[in-house]
Every structure is written in C-alpha cells, then in structure tokens.
Amino acid sequence: MTATRPTELAQKIAAADIAPNRRRGGDIRVLLSPKTVGSTSGFMGTLRLEPAEFVAEHYHPYSEEFLYVVSGHITVRLDGRPVDLGPGEAMMVPIKTRHRVENHADEPAQVVIHLGPLAPRPELGHVDTEPLPGGHEPIQAVGEVR
C-alpha cells in the first residue's frame, strides 16, 4: 500500500504573488519555504538579475545552494573564482562557500534557486561578506567569523 499526502497540503505559489527581496541585490522571490508551504528540508525560489546587477557575496553555513539558469547568462564567483552559466546550465554551491552572482550580459537573467538543508533558524541562513547594495547593513550569523 502506498501512502499518499492529502491534496490540501499541495499548494500552488505564483512568483507574481511574492514580494521581491532586493536586500542583497537582484529580484529574489522565495516561492516554496517553511513560511509559504511548510517545507522542512529547504526552500526554492527565483532570481532575476537585470544587466549589471549582482547578488552581493555571502555564504550559507548550513545549506548547499543550487542554481539553474532558465534564461540569460550569469557569472557565479565561488571564493572569487568565476564560473559562467547560460540557459539550461546548473551548478551547486557547497556549504560555507563564498559566492556572488553577477549579470554582465546585455539581457536579464532568470535563475531558479534551491537551498537545503535549512539552517536551524532563518537568521543563521546567510552570512554577508561584502557591503550590500542600497546601503543595507550586512548580516553576520551568530558564532560565525568572516
């Protein structure tokens, strides 16, 4: 006998219904998360970068990050080393690896992102390692050293 999950747990989330988070740069929308659908193993969302936009360098003390480029081109800097990705290409950013996502192309880039596992508490999920766009204050996780 196969166990099934009740259909009321399945939820459709539209990117247009999620407010963008621009704190670290770009347009990041967390679609599937503990807050939106009660996920327990990670979260998934989208990143849109206009030409010349970037997501400031940071790392995740507890999570791997997966990036899949839907359209456009991005450069992901892993501990400063550039890796170029285009449509249909993906990569994994290992736990505790500093990374920055940049768009040097003349067209917007659309990327699907997934992080997992979750940090023990949301505020421990990211550690910023460079100044943030727009004058936002960087976050340093408790117990983490830059």
CATH of the domain at 112: 2.60.120.10
| pLDDT > 70: percent of the chain | 88
Q: Does residue 11 lie in a domain region?
A: no
- The total number of structural domains in the chain stands at 1
How many whole angstroms separate alpha carbon 132 and alpha carbon 24?
6
Per-residue model confidence as pLDDT tens digits over 24-80:
999 999 999 999 999 999 999 999 999 999 999 999 999 999 999 999 999 999 999
The 8-class DSSP code of residue 20 comes to P
- pLDDT for 133 beyond 50: yes
Residues 11-26 have a mean pLDDT of 92
**Full residue range of the structural domain in which residue 42 is found:** 19-135
What is the model's pLDDT at position 9? Answer: 61
In angstroms, the Cα distances linking 117 to 120, 121, 126 are: 9, 11, 13
What is the model's pLDDT at position 1? Answer: 43
The 8-class DSSP code of residue 137 comes to P
Q: Report the chain's mean pLDDT, rounded to a whole number.
A: 89
Could you tell me where the DSSP H helices lie in 1-146?
Answer: 34-37
Q: Does residue 88 lie in a domain region?
A: yes
How many whole angstroms separate alpha carbon 63 and alpha carbon 65?
6
State pTM to two decimals.
0.86
